[in-house]
A and B are shown apart, each in its own frame.
Chain A
Amino acid sequence: MSTAPAPSAGVPVLEMRGVTKRFGGLTAVEGFEARLGEHEVVGLIGPNGAGKTTVFNLITGVYELTAGAIAVRGRDTKGLRPDQITSLGVARTFQNIRLFRRMSVLENVQTAMDLRLGYGILASVLRTRRFREREREITEKSRALLDLVGLADDADERAGALAYGEQRRLEIARALATDPRLLILDEPAAGMNPQETDELGEMLHVIRKRHDLTLLLIEHDMKFVMRMCERIIVLDYGRIIATGTPAEVRANPAVIAAYLGDEE
C-alpha cells in the first residue's frame, strides 16, 4: 500500500465511469465520466450545487459510490479508505479550508508525510537514529515545499493565524507533501483578488512541472479556468452537460443556458 504502482504509459491517472451518488432522495451526481491522462490540467465547472465537490469527495473516498467505478492509476478504489486512496497518489484541497489550525505551519506539512515515513512507536520513544534521520529528512522536504508556496518564513506560525490566501497555499503545500500524482483543488482561487489569482496560476504551473502532476480543479472564476485548463467538464444538476476545450465549452449553448444569470 505504501508504494504506489509505477505509472505505465496508457493507464489514465484517473478514470471514472458511470459514477453516481445519491443522498436519500437527492441525486447529487449521476453517470459522471472522466478520463485524465498524465500531466493534463482539467477544469470542473458548474453552477452552485451542481455536484462538483461531491465528485471530489467520491474520488477521495470521503463518500461511498452509489453506482459506477473509479480507478486511480489503474487501481479500482472500491472499498478503499480515504488514506489508502491518498497513498495511491491522490491529494486534495478543500473548498472550506481545513487546516490543522492549532498546529504549526511546518507541522501541517510534516503530518502529511506520515504516509511515507515508516518508523515505529519504539523509534519515537527511544529517539533512535532512524527516527532522527527520517525526521530531519522530512523537515527539510517540508521546508522546501513551504518555500515553493512562499511560506518559508512562516514555518513556526500557527496555521490558524495565517491570512486567508496563505492558508490556501498551505493547503496546497500540505497536499503536495503526500507526494501525489493527481492533485485536485476545490476552488483554489476563492476569495482571492485578481493579483493573488494570477500568482496562484503561476505557482500551479511551476508545481505541476516540478512534481509531475495531473491537475483537476473546480473554480468559479471563469477567466482563471479558461486560462489554466486544457479541457473542461461542465456539470449541472449532477449531470455532465458538456466537455471540451475552453473555447468549445464557452460556445456551447447548453453551458450558456446553465450559467444564464449565474456567471458572465
Chain B
Amino acid sequence: MAFVLDHLVHLSILVMLALSLNLINGFAGMFSLGHHGFFAVGAYAAAVVVFYGAQGSVPAGEAAVVAGSASSILWFVASLVVGIVAAGIFGFIVGVPCLRLRGDYLAIATLGFGEIVRILAQNTEAVGGARGMEVSYLLLERDVDTQNEYALLYAILVVALTAVTFVFIRNLIRSRHGRSLVSIREDEVAAELVGINLARAKLMAFVVGAAFAGLAGALYANYMTQIEPKEFNLIKGIYILLFVVLGGMGSLTGTIIAGFVLYVLDKIVLNLMPQEIQSLREVLFALILIILMISRPQGLLGHKELADTRFWQRLFRRQRGLKESS
C-alpha cells in the first residue's frame, strides 16, 4: 500500500511539474530547458522555511518540531506558499531577459539558468552546499506505525493539488490568456500586430509555469527527508520534458497520460526486469526519446486534448472541438 502511495506522490509531483512546463513549452511555444531550475527554487525555498522557520522557532530546551501540531501545519503551508512565490519571482527574473530570445537561443539560455541555480545551491553554505538540506516532517508524525497514514495523507494532498494545477492551467488556456499564448506560438509577429502585448503574455506564462513548478518543488522537499543540489540536474528537466513531448506539446491530458505511462515503465516495469536490463535504464531512456522524435514528433495527442480525439469521440459518440482538417 505504502509502496503504491509513494509512487503516486512522486508521479503526481512530476506530472504537476510537466503540466506547468507544458504551459511554457507547449502552449506558449517557448522552448525552455530550465524548468528543473524552478523546481529546485521551490524545493529550496520550502526547505529554508522548514529549516530556519519551523526548526529555528523551536524554543530552546525542546527537542524538535512536533509534526502534526498546529504550528507545524502552518509552517508546512507557509513553506508551500513561499515555494510558489519564490519560484514565481524567479520565473519573472528569468522571463525578462528571455523576452528577447527565441527558439534555440531561449533553450540554451534557460538551460544555463537551470545550471546556475544548481551551481548556486551547491556553493551556498546557508543551504547546505553540496550536501543539501534536511527537511523535517511537519504534516504528520512519520514512523513505522503511521507510515501508511502519512503516505495516504500526502498522496491525497499531492493528487488534489495536481488536479488544481490541471484545472488552473486548462482554464487559463481556454481564455483570452491562452489564446494570446497560442497565437504567439503560431506567429509572434502577427500576434503582436493584432494587439497582443508579447512581453506581458510571455511573462505571465513564465511566472505561472514557474510558480507551479515551485509548488511541485515545495511538495517534493517536504516529502523527502533530504534534498541535494545534484538531484536538480538537466536529466530531471529532460525527464519531465519527455512527459510533455510524448503526450503532445499543447495537450494537458496528453502530459498526464504520457507521464503515467513513462513513470510506470521506468519505475515499475523496469524494476521487474533482470539486472542487466535495469543497468541500461538511461540508454533506453535516451533511445525512446530519439525514436519518439523521429517517428512521432508531435507526441501521442499532438496539440489535442483527450476529449478532442477521434478515439474519445467515437467512444462517447459526441462531437466537439475542432473538425479534422484532412
Contact = CB atoms under 8 A, between A and B. Distances in A.
Q: Do A and B come from one complex?
A: yes
Contacts of B179: 103, 107, 110-111, 114
Contact of A158 (B190, B197, B208, B322): B322
A125 B167 CA distance: 8
Interface in B122-181: 167-168, 171-172, 174-180
B186 interface: yes
A77 interface: no
A135 B176 CA distance: 8
A149 interface: no
Given A101-B186, A103-B182, A104-B322, A119 B193 contact: no
A156 B194 contact: no
A124 B183 contact: no
A111 B194 CA distance: 8
A168 interface: no
Interface stretch (A32-40, A82-90, A244-252): A82-90
A124 B171 contact: yes
B194 A135 contact: no
Interface string A76-110: 00000111001100011010001111111001101
B197 A83 contact: yes
Interface stretch (A7-15, A174-182, A203-211): A174-182
Contact of B194 (A86, A121, A157, A161): A86
A178 B171 CA distance: 24
B195 to A, nearest CB: 4
A160 interface: yes
A121 B172 contact: yes
A60 interface: yes
B236 interface: no
B109 interface: no
A67 interface: no
Interface string A120-135: 0101111100010001
A87 to B, nearest CB: 6
Interface residues of B, number: 33
A103 B177 contact: no
B305 to A, nearest CB: 14
Given A103-B183, A103-B186, A83 B325 contact: no
Interface in B182-211: 182-183, 186-187, 189-198, 204, 208
B193 A83 contact: yes
| Residue among A99, A102, A114, A126 with most chain B CB within 10 A | A114
A225 B197 CA distance: 34
Contact of A82 (B168, B172, B193): B193
A112 B190 CA distance: 10
A115 B179 CA distance: 12
Nearest to A124: B175
A14 to B, nearest CB: 16
Contact of A135 (B175, B180, B187): B175
B195 A86 contact: yes
A161 B171 CA distance: 26
B28 to A, nearest CB: 13
Interface in A125-177: 125-127, 131, 135, 156-158, 160-161, 174-175, 177
Contacts of A104: 322
A107 B177 CA distance: 12
A161 B326 contact: yes
| Residue among A111, A123, A124 with most chain B CB within 10 A | A111
A121 B325 CA distance: 31
Interface of A: 60, 62, 81-83, 86-87, 91-92, 94, 98-104, 107-108, 110-115, 117, 119, 121, 123-127, 131, 135, 156-158, 160-161, 174-175, 177-178
Interface of B: 167-168, 171-172, 174-180, 182-183, 186-187, 189-198, 204, 208, 303, 321-323, 325-326
7 cross-chain pairs, A with B, having the tightest CB-CB distances, nearest first = A124-B175, A115-B195, A112-B194, A100-B186, A161-B325, A98-B190, A86-B195
Given A111-B180, A175-B194, 20 more contacts: A94-B190, A98-B189, A98-B190, A99-B186, A100-B182, A101-B186, A103-B179, A111-B182, A111-B196, A113-B176, A114-B176, A114-B196, A121-B208, A123-B175, A124-B174, A125-B167, A127-B171, A156-B321, A156-B322, A157-B325
20 contacts: A81-B197, A83-B195, A86-B195, A91-B194, A100-B187, A100-B191, A102-B186, A103-B182, A111-B183, A111-B194, A113-B176, A114-B176, A121-B177, A124-B171, A124-B175, A125-B168, A125-B171, A126-B171, A160-B325, A178-B195
